[in-house]
Structure 1
């Protein structure tokens, strides 16, 4: 386990909270910790999981400065991305239901984690002029979302809409995401966590084996999407070192003040 996560038990439900200040950037340690926490929940016979982040931001996505610090060490970079996609698979293949309590912005890697869950509850900003946003903006930083990740978005918003959003690297408001079916519920921030727990309690009140069996059938396409051949990690890491990606990532580092 890692100090970058906090665990809270609510009866048979365990909440895994991302706790990597200030923006829950997904570095290698955090991703590995998330995998371990989900595995431990299975060992502990937990019946449902709630994954939450911080108020105002669920996760800013992958920790780009952490990844850029790997430099030309392809092996370390591969390990970091293996940890991330491993965390996505841990959510997607979880034997127990997973609900995401998205308390704010949720770009890129954070969005990918949410797409692998059973249900997504997102906060609506109290300032209509500054809505919380969610989306896969990989194109903006010079990356191509793998086929498997694109499939996760397609299963929620449809093929055509997903293609438009991915190609443009579009970040949509929480309200738009709800209208598209990208998130399942939209609530004030202070209600998100409690509603996630309540939703899980309602699900767990159903006859257990029929619920889990039906869930497994319903998520078969998600499991297929996360197969290695649809992620092609070697190709993804090779693309990281392309001129386009490095230029976009260097520009992002400059904007973050890390250049």
Structure 2
């Protein structure tokens, strides 16, 4: 059973995370995302990334990942960041329909999209520091492009989790809609953007995200290894194991 469902709405492809209530991100979901992205063809004019009404994604699948040794965790973590970079640089308009909460790794996937639409009462955030690990390098780059330094410090240094209304005010979410209409609004936005010149849009998107891609390619290996050093530290393992109970 796949953890990413692919749905077609005219020329808009919806990639729906489908891994239980939490939509936890593990190796199978990364594989499924890679396969879904690879299957996108020239009939697709835009992409919508969606989850479920409770969680867009709760983040990395801690109960599973904590069973992995460093080599296997390294393989997963590098592939997760690579698929995030692929989504970020996809030469198509991308819209994230966050009907549910988007936390940590879930928020990272949301940050890869060109537009993020949320629902009132839901929360987003990067709480990695509270778990003894840094926010992944690519995510920090994406966050820094979207928000001012005050917001970036609050999220990176304090692990701030914020409501969607606040996230919209600081530029992390583009709009907030009722739960029953957020996905329709995301598809409508994607359809609107797909009507633009594909070549012109791809060129402009490359301008916006190209520097982030270059920085990740230049520094990503070292930064990912720093993350893994922290992940396998005694302090982080204790905090991560405690947090993993929330997934059960």
Q: Above 0.5 in TM-score?
A: yes
Structure 2 matches for 1:38-187, cutoff 5 A?
A: 38-41=37-40, 43=41, 45-70=43-68, 73-124=69-120, 131-187=121-177
Match of 1:251 in 2: 242
TM-score (structure 1 length as normaliser): 0.90
TM-score (structure 2 length as normaliser): 0.93
Q: Deviations over 1:189-222 (max 9, x none)?
A: 1111111111111112223322221222122233
Aligned residues: 247
Contact 1:5-1:16 at 8 Å conserved across structures: yes
Match of 1:15 in 2: 14
Judging changes above 3 Å, is the alpha-carbon distance between structure 1 residues 220 and 137 closer, same or farther for their aligned structure 2 residues?
A: same
Residue 226 of structure 1: which of 201, 216, 231 is its match?
A: 216
Judging changes above 3 Å, is the alpha-carbon distance between structure 1 residues 182 and 136 closer, same or farther for their aligned structure 2 residues?
A: same
Question: Residues of 2 paired with 1:245 and 1:100: CA distance?
Answer: 30
Judging changes above 3 Å, is the alpha-carbon distance between structure 1 residues 255 and 104 closer, same or farther for their aligned structure 2 residues?
A: closer
Instruction: Tell me how large the CA RMSD over aligned residues is.
Output: 1.7
Judging changes above 3 Å, is the alpha-carbon distance between structure 1 residues 19 and 146 closer, same or farther for their aligned structure 2 residues?
A: closer
Question: Residues of 2 paired with 1:20 and 1:229: CA distance?
Answer: 31
Contact 1:148-1:227 at 8 Å conserved across structures: no
3-state SS of paired residue (2:57):
coil
Contact 2:89-2:206 at 8 Å conserved across structures: no
Question: Residues of 1 paired with 2:129 and 2:153: CA distance?
Answer: 12
Contact 1:149-1:225 at 8 Å conserved across structures: no
Contact 1:48-1:98 at 8 Å conserved across structures: yes
Question: Residues of 2 paired with 1:89 and 1:59: CA distance?
Answer: 18
3-state SS of paired residue (2:39):
helix
3-state SS of paired residue (1:226):
helix
3-state SS of paired residue (2:92):
coil
**Cα displacement (A) at 1:172:** 0.3
Question: Residues of 2 paired with 1:97 and 1:120: CA distance?
Answer: 12
User: Mind listing any 5+ residue stretches in structure 1 that lack a counterpart?
Assistant: 125-130
Greater RCO (CA < 8 Å, at least 6 residues apart): 2
Q: Deviations over 1:4-31 (max 9, x none)?
A: 1111111111001011102100011101
User: Mind listing any 5+ residue stretches in structure 2 that lack a counterpart?
Assistant: none
**Cα displacement (A) at 1:254:** 4.4
Contact 1:107-1:137 at 8 Å conserved across structures: yes
Question: Residues of 2 paired with 1:79 and 1:53: CA distance?
Answer: 25
Judging changes above 3 Å, is the alpha-carbon distance between structure 1 residues 4 and 256 closer, same or farther for their aligned structure 2 residues?
A: closer
